[in-house]
Amino acid sequence: MLNVEAIRKDFPFLKEGRVYLDSTASSLTPDPVIQRMIEYYHDYRANVGRGIYRASQRATDEFEAARERIARFIGAGRDELILLRNSTEALNLIANGVQFKRGDRVVLTIQEHHSNFVIWQRAKERFGLDLRIVNSDRQGFFNLSDFEAAIDGKTRLVSIAHVSNVLGVRLPVKEVAKLAHEQGSLVAVDGAQSVPHTRVDVGDLGCDFFAFSGHKMCGPTGAGGLFIRGDLQERVAPLCVGGGTIEDVGIDYYRLRRGPYKYEAGTPAIAESIGLGAAADYLSSIGMQNISDHEHALTRRMMDRLPEVPGLNIYGPPNAGDRAGIFSFNVQGMNSHDVALALDSAAGIMVRSGHHCALPLMKELLGVAEGSVRASVYLYNTLSEVDLFVDTLSEIAKTIA
Amino acid sequence: MNSIFEAYSKFPRADCGYCGNPSCITALRRYCSGEMPLDKCLFFRTGAFDPGLIHYPAARDSPSKPGISYINPCPSDAKMVTVEVSLASGMHAKHGYYDMISLDRIFGRFIPSLKVSPSLGIARIEHDGRAIMAFKEGRMLIRRALGEEDAFMQLSRAMRQLWAAVN
Ligand SMILES: Cc1ncc(COP(=O)(O)O)c(C=O)c1O
Ligand code: SF4
């Protein structure tokens, strides 16, 4: 069990009159995480990996300790975790780092976020990739045989989301990874929406790459990570090179370092990475299972009560058990932005509206090119916030839709 | 956490007029601004309703300063210009800028495209795919305007429709 009231006290943003239901876009940051970053600025504000003086040593130690914490959080080895800005940068690294040949096949799904979609469209233009998109049904469920058909011997990479940021559905990552490996393909997982909410173990998933964002898991903005399986790093080129990435440089040669450093060009986001390490600790101390259970209770309440709202179209799986705490919907006769504005104005409820950076899904699968409203819950949300949200939404639907 | 809607839902909503107000919403407004004790209402006085549950709705974070601003909430919807105008002034701090009850009761019925929610404090006008929302604190939003000029056209039109509800 998790003590929501105690947890809420850790989040300075949660003041009276604010109901934050947009954690899918970015989560809030608790005080213990902010304090760790302030500590860096106050006590050992120095660059990492270069200085010999004590503050720089401490900065290096704390930065590397953060790497270790974050790596452990997703079941990776410390040398397998590259500290980057966010999922988008991590996915770009994959698209540019894997040495593709013309005609190589890359398989995605219709549910991908633009960050795992546009990069492959550009890679197609650049390297002549054969891009395949696997469709799901309208509720978000896939047929494994569609993956079987799409993944062939020429498939170099399968890149799929772990949890859809629109439908809240969990993708069959483990099964797809198995299929892909049988065909000799690599597997990349966009874990932006899974790491914050459930226990993730990259070894258990069986993926070769795993990208995630710190700002969605109680960390600060500007810190995220990419897992690259250790033995694969030889064959994956960095996105940027320069200071920090090299072992030796001469007039006419350079040699890259080994391990995560090869991918971390320039001065990293030191404070933010330390903050992300603290966020991993924060979530672990509460317990990922407790967080999932709490979110599930909120999800059940939401799915029980949402049908009360007249004229509501809710997307994704109808069963609370099949979904993460993400709820996309439309109120009949009202644009999604108007609904979001009304929720904010009437009750201080913050939700997202629009396309959620997943236009292919919105247009092709849901047929709602004009967008949808999306509410999402996290560890600091309460049942009474869910109730207030549903009550206010009902009132909106009854009076101004 | 109490929204004005939540407070309203705990009112008798009989609109009986016993307290001297034309409706429960007016009574709620006057109660919220400290001008009417709840026991003026017969339902509360007789204990048929529990006033203990009602709190003054939390003040909004930051009342928008008077002025005009452009927002573009979704970069993939480039056609859309959203204009936000704040007409609020200190004078309206207590009751808000628009009186949504009068708007609903008196003017709502003459403007078919106007929808008013006194409980939420929001009025909405939609036509030609454009939407205008007016909030009781004096904020107005023109969504999906074709450009600045169009936004001003929409705005002045809406202000003319809503003028009589200004407090
Ligand atoms: C599934 C998914 N992938 C990728 C991203 C991109 O994350 P970021 O903006 O942190 O790079 C998001 C964020 O919305 C997401 O939900
Ligand atoms: S007396 Fe009570 S029920 Fe009657 S109008 Fe006033 S508040 Fe409403």
The answer on pLDDT for A135 being more than 50 is yes
Which of the two residues, B81 and A60, has the higher pLDDT score? A60
Q: Does any ligand 1 atom lie closer than 6 A to the CB of residue A213?
A: yes
CB contact under 8 A, B139 and A348: no
> Average of pLDDT values for A104-119?
97
Rounded distance from Cα B25 to ligand 2 centre (Å): 9
CB contact under 8 A, B5 and A335: no
Q: What is the pLDDT of residues B79-127, one digit of tens each?
A: 667 788 888 766 666 667 888 877 877 776 777 888 888 888 899 988 7
**Tell me, what CATH number does B49's domain have?**
1.10.15.40
CB contact under 8 A, A17 and B1: yes
B130-135 sheet: strands from edge to edge:
B67-71, B81-86, B139-145, B130-135, B122-127, B114-117
Residues B74 and B17 in one domain: no
Burial class of residue A243, CB neighbours in 10 A (0-12, 13-18, 19+): exposed
> Average of pLDDT values for A122-130?
95
Residue range of the domain that includes A374: 4-21+287-398
* Cβ-nearest to A346 among B5, B73, B143: B5
The answer to which of A86-90, A143-147, B33-37 has the lowest mean pLDDT is B33-37
Residue B59's pLDDT is 40
Q: Does any ligand 1 atom lie closer than 6 A to the CB of residue A92?
A: no
Q: Whose CA is nearest to atom 4 of ligand 2?
A: B16
Beta strands in A258-331 (DSSP E): 312-314, 326-331
Residue B73's pLDDT is 55
Residues B85 and B128 in one domain: yes
The answer as to whether B60 is a domain residue is no
Name the 3-class secondary structure at A303: helix
The answer as to whether A27 is a domain residue is no
Residues A9 and A152 in one domain: no
> Average of pLDDT values for A238-247?
91
Among candidate residues A256, A285, A314, the one where a domain is terminated: A285
- Report CA A377 to chain centroid distance, whole Å: 14
Phi, psi of A330 (to 5 degrees): -135, 145
Residues B44 and B71 in one domain: no
The answer on pLDDT for B74 being more than 70 is no
The answer on pLDDT for A300 being more than 70 is yes
Q: What is the pLDDT of residues A166-204, one digit of tens each?
A: 999 999 999 999 999 999 999 999 999 999 999 999 999
- pLDDT-based confidence at A162, cuts 50/70/90? very high
Residue range of the domain that includes B142: 67-165
Among candidate residues A265, A285, A305, the one where a domain is terminated: A285
Task: Please identify among residues 11-70 of chain A the ones whose CB lies closer than 8 Å to any CB of chain B.
Answer: 16-19
Residues A87 and A224 in one domain: yes
The answer to which of A139-153, A334-348, B64-78 has the lowest mean pLDDT is B64-78
The answer as to whether A247 is a domain residue is yes
> Average of pLDDT values for A253-272?
94
Mean pLDDT of chain B: 76
- Check: CB of residue A401 under 8 Å from CB of residue B116: no
> Average of pLDDT values for A283-305?
97
Residue B82's pLDDT is 78
The answer on pLDDT for A65 being more than 50 is yes
Residue type for position A154 = K
Q: Does any ligand 1 atom lie closer than 6 A to the CB of residue A113?
A: yes
The answer as to whether B62 is a domain residue is no
Q: Which two tokens stand for residue B94?
A: 């207590």
Residues B101 and B153 in one domain: yes
The answer on pLDDT for A241 being more than 80 is yes
Residues A151 and A56 in one domain: yes
For residue A357, indicate whether it is catalytic: yes
The answer as to whether B136 is a domain residue is yes
- Nearest to A163, CA basis, from A376, A387, A379, A313: A376
Q: Which two tokens stand for residue A104?
A: 């190589």
Domain count, chain A: 2
Residues A11 and A157 in one domain: no
Task: Please identify among residues 11-50 of chain B the ones whose CB lies closer than 8 Å to any CB of chain A.
Answer: none
Residue B72's pLDDT is 64
- Check: CB of residue A29 under 8 Å from CB of residue A38: no
3-state secondary structure A11-67: CCCCCCCCEECECCCCCCCCHHHHHHHHHHHHHCCCCCCCCCCHHHHHHHHHHHHHH
Q: What is the pLDDT of residues A70-107, one digit of tens each?
A: 999 999 999 999 999 999 999 999 999 999 999 999 99
d(CA A180, CA A172): 12
Domain count, chain B: 2
**Tell me, what CATH number does A373's domain have?**
3.90.1150.10
Residues B147 and B86 in one domain: yes
Q: Whose CA is nearest to atom 6 of ligand 2?
A: B19
* Cβ-nearest to B120 among A19, A342, A355: A342
**Tell me, what CATH number does A96's domain have?**
3.40.640.10
CB contact under 8 A, B74 and A399: no
- pLDDT-based confidence at A244, cuts 50/70/90? confident
The answer on pLDDT for B58 being more than 50 is no
Name the 3-class secondary structure at A289: helix
Residue type for position B107 = F
